Amino acid sequence: MEKYTEKFANKIVQLCISKYNSLKKTGKPKNEAEWTLLSCFVQEEQCSHTLKVVALGTGSKCIGSHQLPSAGDVLHDSHAEVVARRAFMLYLISEVRMAAEGHSSIFEVKDGTYYLKSGILFHFYTSHTPCGDASIFLKQEWLECVGNVLETKEEPTISPSVPIGNSDTEPPVKKRRCQGSSDFEDQITLQNTENAHVKSDDIKKMDDLEKEKTNLAVCTGDVNEVLSDTFRTGAKCVAGEAPDPKLPGSKYHITGVLRTKPGRGDPTLSLSCSDKIFKWTILGVQGALLMILLKKPVYIATIVIGRCPYSQEAMKRAIYGRFEDGLNNLNLPEGFSVQTPALVQSNIDFAHSRINIAKTASEGSKLIPTPTSIIWSDTSVHRESQEVATNGRRLGCTKKNIGTSKSWVSICRKAISCLMLDLLKDARWEPADFNQLTYSDLKYYSESYNQAWNILKSKCLSNWTVKPKHIKDFKVK
Ligand SMILES: [Zn+2]
């Protein structure tokens, strides 16, 4: 675990940002007031000491419960973490197919079951603290973190694939100046604007605090009042969980509970990214369908968070600590285990983050999240060019094309289950009738995954939202 230091985190972030920069402009923020969030999966091959980005997603939108389609052809949740994870599922499916066809792959096959080769690890980068539980922490904690992050940091170099731990290629160390107050002011609005509830007078007080810090002066009572407050999230507690007390200051939120995605308007049934990432630590990131063929789930070794308001303590709580009691003596099926990924923050900014856009936007301009999501994976689907989604459908699809494959993005349920069905057919997997299978049927065949999910729900996630049955009953073919 020793290697998962900030230096390692910076290498991961360099690669991810370099991949993002190499993509075309379509789907990226279009003007000086737009921002987005970025997440990626990075593959490490321990024997060759290489790292490469294998999946990428951007975005911050989520569709409401009343817009949930019944044909499986719309992406419900377009938060960067979820988009990247679904793009990663495409990558895994493609690698299983490569192994099935006898090509070079990260998987090997034995008696029809696929095993991830030893020495292959996956790291997950996200440019911001995940929405939901991980976003609730004292402003004071973050300020201390900023102090640490800013003192002496390296300026990273960018390369498409960097070796790990090769000291010959280390960039020179440069000193960074401690941030000025205007810079600092931008920092204190959480990246998910819909989450953020930092009042302008809070900004002023925290700005004052930064001046105080710089001058080594003593904090004022007002400043202490701000610092003892927590960052807030628009992610709402799900039914059945204890509600937020909504009292002043740090008593506004309850911590450790399941929340749905933040947002205005039609409420969503999608869980916050903090909750989804926790689920991945037990069930893996490959999804239910691929588990039909895999021996073990695919887990994340490290979660790297970009430079943004962050608390290690809140992140730990959100990603595994809050469920410690429930996780004791979990009798999971063979292959499944409780993971505690390393959590590391990088000191590298993402240029299109809200914080950075706020620094350069003209005074008075209203910052808005880019409505589009970029989807990219290291597969034949995206090698030529990224895909772009808006409102869960392919960007630019006409009304006439809605309901046809021309409107699907490659990571919607419909597209992924079609790919999986083809793979299962080729792997000579034999269900009752391929042509009649619905998405629910297909999921049903993933026995170990279903068993693990039921155990996890009963012990830790009993209030997880249930989506209406009709949205899972579409025919795969
Ligand atoms: Zn999120």
The Å distance, Cα 240 to ligand 1 centre, comes to 21
Residue 191 alpha carbon to ligand 1 centre in Å: 10
CA of 343 to the centre of ligand 1 (A): 17
Judge residue 234's burial from the number of C-beta atoms within 10 Å of its C-beta, 0-12 exposed, 13-18 middle, 19 or more buried: buried
Q: Which residues have CB atoms below 5 A from the ion given as ligand 1?
A: 79, 131, 273
Distance 276 CA to ligand 1 centre (A): 9
Count other C-beta atoms under 10 Å from residue 134's C-beta.
30
Q: List the pLDDT tens digit at each of the 477 positions of the chain.
A: 457 899 999 999 999 999 999 999 999 999 889 999 999 999 999 999 999 999 999 999 998 877 777 788 899 999 999 999 999 999 999 999 999 999 999 999 998 899 999 999 999 999 999 999 999 998 876 666 554 443 333 333 333 333 333 333 223 333 333 332 222 222 333 333 333 333 344 444 444 444 444 333 333 445 666 667 888 888 899 999 999 999 888 888 999 999 999 877 778 889 999 999 999 999 999 999 999 999 999 999 999 999 999 999 999 999 999 999 999 889 999 999 999 999 999 999 999 999 899 888 888 889 999 999 999 999 999 988 999 999 999 999 998 988 888 999 999 999 999 999 999 988 877 776 778 889 998 999 999 999 999 999 999 999 999 888 888 888 888
Separation of 83 CA from ligand 1 center, angstroms? 10
Instruction: Yes or no: say if 65 and 259 are a contact pair by the CB < 8 Å rule.
Output: no
CA distance 29 to 343: 28
- Of the candidates 358, 278, 290, 289, the one whose C-alpha atom is nearest the C-alpha of residue 315 is 278
* Contact by Cβ (8 Å): 231, 209: no
- Cα separation, 343 vs 347, whole angstroms: 14
Query: For 265, left (φ over 0), alpha (ψ -120 to 50), or beta?
Result: left
Handedness of CA 424, 427, 432, 435 (dihedral sign): positive
**Å from CA of 265 to ligand 1 middle:** 17
CA–CA distance, 193 with 199 (Å, rounded to integer) = 12
Can you tell me whether residue 110 is helix, strand or coil?
A: strand
| b/e burial code for range 378-413 (CB count within 10 A of at least 16 → b) | bbebbeeebbbbbbbbbbebeeeebeeeebbbbbbb
Strand partners, 394: 389
Known catalytic residues are 81
- A 10 A CB-CB count for 147 gives 13
Å from CA of 90 to ligand 1 middle: 20
Are 226 and 184 in contact by the 8 Å Cβ rule? The answer is no
What is the rounded distance in angstroms from the CA atom of residue 441 to the CA atom of residue 418? Answer: 13
Rounded to two decimals, the pTM is 0.84
Domain spans, the chain? 6-177+259-472
**133-186 tens-digit pLDDT:** 999 998 876 666 554 443 333 333 333 333 333 333 223 333 333 332 222 222
Q: What is the DSSP string of 318-336?
A: HHTGGGHHHHTT--PPTT-
Q: How far is the CA of 82 from the centre of ligand 1 (A)?
A: 8
Q: Where are the beta strands (DSSP E) in 196-352?
A: 302-305, 342-345
Q: Ligand 1: distance of its center to the CA of 435 in Å?
A: 36
Beta 387-390 vs 372-377: how paired, if at all?
Answer: antiparallel
Of 87, 73, 78, residue with least CA distance to 40: 87
